[in-house]
Amino acid sequence: ASGRFQQEYVPSAHLSAACTCLAWAPPGGRPPPSKDGPQRKKRKSEVAEMDKQLDILAIGTAVGSVLLYSTVKGELQSKLVGGHDNKVNCVKWHQDNCFLYSCSDDKHIVEWNTQTCKVKCKWKGDNSSVTALCISPDGKMLLSAGRTIKLWDLETKEVYRHFTGHATSVSSLMFTTVKPMNENKPFDGITGLYFLSGAIHDRLLSVWYIRSDRKEKNAVMSFTVTDEPTYIDLTVSEVKEEPVKLAVVCRDGQLHLFEHILNGYCKKPLTSNCTIQIATPGDDGDSTPKPVPILAAAFCSDKQSVLLVYGNLLQPIIEKVSLNTSESHVCLIRDVQKALSLTTDVAVTKVKTPVVNSDAKVLVPGIPGHSTAVKTPSSGKEKKENKRKPGEIEESIEERLEALDIDVSKVKTPGGLPQTDSFAVLLVQGLESNDAEILNRVLNTRKENVVKNTVARMPVHAVIPLLHELTKRLQGNPYSASVMVRWLKSVLTLHASYLSTLPDLIPQLGMLYQLMESRVKTLQKLSRLHGRLFILVTQVAASEAVQDVTEVNQTAKLVYEDESSEEEGSDDEMIADKDSDENWDEDEEKEEQSDEQDMTVEKEINGDSDLEPENESEEE
């Protein structure tokens, strides 16, 4: 009620065996007033309401043991060991007796007797790790889930029903109704009930219906949220006409409220009636409001108001907010900084700054090149001295790094470009701030593996802004488009599964699709034109080569006269011999040349001539 910190418990082996899940024991063996079973997480509001009754807290650990801690005594009551040999994923108390159920990554479900602290029963729950449990309202059945969901009969430990479940491991299971909607048939305690499931990396919460036959295994309806659900609370529908109210806190810090009467099958995913966000006012100095993440939310007993837990995990702020569902989106303005800054100042004063001599080198822990300078008491004097001596040159960062004995070559990156892991960070920064310089620097990379790694490492929420940016650039000059297509290909291959889950994908990517359609439409015509031009060019080249062949001289090279005297004849023959020898050589050379030209012409006509690399790329 006051939002004050009450008590803290740190297990002795908290470093080697971290706490993984929590559950309150039902007070005095009676079920909690408004809930259908013990809660998954500790709720500070409930601690205040049921202070007299709530005492024992079951804590699952990463090594497989379960701790029972008494909040009234403020000490560990007992430790349950020997059940699991891997991380405990979920613990649930039975409403009526002192049994505790736990599931683990070792694929088993264990039923504990908390009075004797021994394993009552252990059975294999799934082929992969079992991640969530939930006990039915009458306490005779148990829901367990890894990826598929199973309903177990607790007496025989046999599977009563199978449900298809989710593609990823289920993180939460809870019953949404206590009585079946159809009141004509006799109620066996389970048939006709609805239950809800949420999974990691899944933006759809599924609702399942337990039938009398085994036919239907799929979800009857689903609720869609903006990000992976991290915390779910609901009001159980006890009467037929009463709607189920659902509060879902997502990883992105938003709270979605749903209100729906569960009455059979619904094909389309249902969207939230109201979305609540919290932001800072954005006054003093910083004008932009910053979002404040909501960590958890729970309905109050009147079902008309919600308890919000928001701010910092170390010091959360708890507030009661009454619901106004007429508006679809509510943004609450809260100044979290003032509440938090008071405590941080107190913490800072405990750190004593050492008095440092100006000649001494101070080595600061941290990443090379990102170390913060230690504030020394003498820094004020040094500044004044600097003003007095204008002749002195300030040390460069390189010199300072050398003084810190850090290899400067390691800090610098070739060509001034950042490495792949920082590319993703740079890209997100560029998209958020819309900084053209950063975006040009990142998006103009041509290395295939750098592009792939960057896209793989970027967070999911930046995918749509990146696609919008790429669309904008694709509309620009063709040179940049050839680079952008590589990015586009990586984004669509690596993030296809995320994109397919977006409800408003068609309007988001419509422009890009039209752009690609219009570009591809002309490809066929262009390739035909290219083919025709190629034939023309080769024919022109061939005809030119034919014209270039020199014509054979038809005039006689040698005239033989019979009537001349012997002396004259012998002289003529000598001269003719010389001439003819030379001429024959020339004729042979000419013939060889003309043969070679004919060969090239033939090659070109047959299309054997190698295409230029540019032409090839155009054809592709």
Residue 32 three-state SS = coil
Beta strand 88-93 with 118-124: parallel, antiparallel or unpaired? unpaired
| Separation CA 343–CA 14 (nearest Å) | 25
8 secondary structure, DSSP code = -
Amino acid 179 reads: K
User: Is residue 516 assigned to a domain?
Assistant: yes
The torsion angle over the Cα atoms of residues 80, 86, 87 and 91, rounded to 10 degrees, is -40
pLDDT at residue 594, as a whole number = 60
The total number of structural domains in the chain stands at: 1
pLDDT at residue 249, as a whole number = 94
Contacts of 139 (CB under 8 A, 6+ apart): 94, 95, 96, 154
User: Is residue 497 assigned to a domain?
Assistant: yes
User: Is residue 479 assigned to a domain?
Assistant: yes
pLDDT at residue 97, as a whole number = 82
306 neighbors 232 (Cβ within 8 angstroms): no
| Separation CA 499–CA 468 (nearest Å) | 13
pLDDT at residue 9, as a whole number = 86
| Separation CA 23–CA 114 (nearest Å) | 13
248 neighbors 260 (Cβ within 8 angstroms): no
pLDDT at residue 548, as a whole number = 76
User: Is residue 471 assigned to a domain?
Assistant: yes
Which secondary structure element, helix H or strand E, spans residue 69, and what is its range? strand 66-70
Q: What's the domain range around 438?
A: 421-521
SS3 content of the chain, % helix, strand, coil (to 5): 35, 25, 45
Which secondary structure element, helix H or strand E, spans residue 28, and what is its range? none
Number of H helices, E strands in the chain: 14, 25
pLDDT at residue 314, as a whole number = 79
pLDDT at residue 379, as a whole number = 43
Cα–Cα–Cα angle for 493, 497, 499, nearest 5°?
90
| Separation CA 427–CA 429 (nearest Å) | 5
Contacts of 180 (CB under 8 A, 6+ apart): 187, 191, 192, 193
| Separation CA 322–CA 374 (nearest Å) | 48
pLDDT at residue 413, as a whole number = 44
Structure tokens at 466: 């990146």
pLDDT at residue 237, as a whole number = 77
- 412-442 residues labelled b (16+ CB within 10 A) or e (exposed): eeeeeeeebeebbebbbebbeeeeeebbebb
In order, the DSSP letters of 423-452 are: HHHHHHHHHHHT-HHHHHHHHT---HHHHH
| Separation CA 355–CA 376 (nearest Å) | 6
Q: Rounded to the nearest 10 degrees, what angle do helices 436-443 and 420-433 cross at? A: 140
User: Is residue 226 assigned to a domain?
Assistant: no
11 neighbors 59 (Cβ within 8 angstroms): yes
pLDDT along the chain (620 residues), means of 10: 82 85 78 40 44 78 92 89 92 89 94 91 92 92 92 91 90 88 76 90 91 80 92 85 89 91 85 89 72 90 88 85 82 74 47 64 57 48 46 71 61 49 85 87 87 90 90 79 87 90 84 84 90 94 84 81 62 58 58 60 52 52
| Separation CA 431–CA 422 (nearest Å) | 14
122 neighbors 85 (Cβ within 8 angstroms): no
Beta strand 88-93 with 221-224: parallel, antiparallel or unpaired? unpaired
User: Is residue 466 assigned to a domain?
Assistant: yes
* Phi, then psi, of 617 in degrees rounded to 5: -65, -35
Spatial CA neighbour of 188 closest among 161, 207, 220: 161
User: Is residue 547 assigned to a domain?
Assistant: no
Query: What Cα–Cα distance (Å) separates residue 314 from each residue in 5, 309, 317, 318?
Result: 10, 12, 10, 13
User: First-to-last CA distance in the chain?
Assistant: 69
Beta strand 132-135 with 118-124: parallel, antiparallel or unpaired? unpaired
Q: How many CA atoms, within 13 angstroms, populate the side-chain half-sphere of residue 55?
A: 12
Beta strand 274-279 with 329-333: parallel, antiparallel or unpaired? parallel
pLDDT at residue 383, as a whole number = 43
pLDDT at residue 378, as a whole number = 47
Structure tokens at 423: 């590319």
231 neighbors 316 (Cβ within 8 angstroms): no
User: Is residue 555 assigned to a domain?
Assistant: no
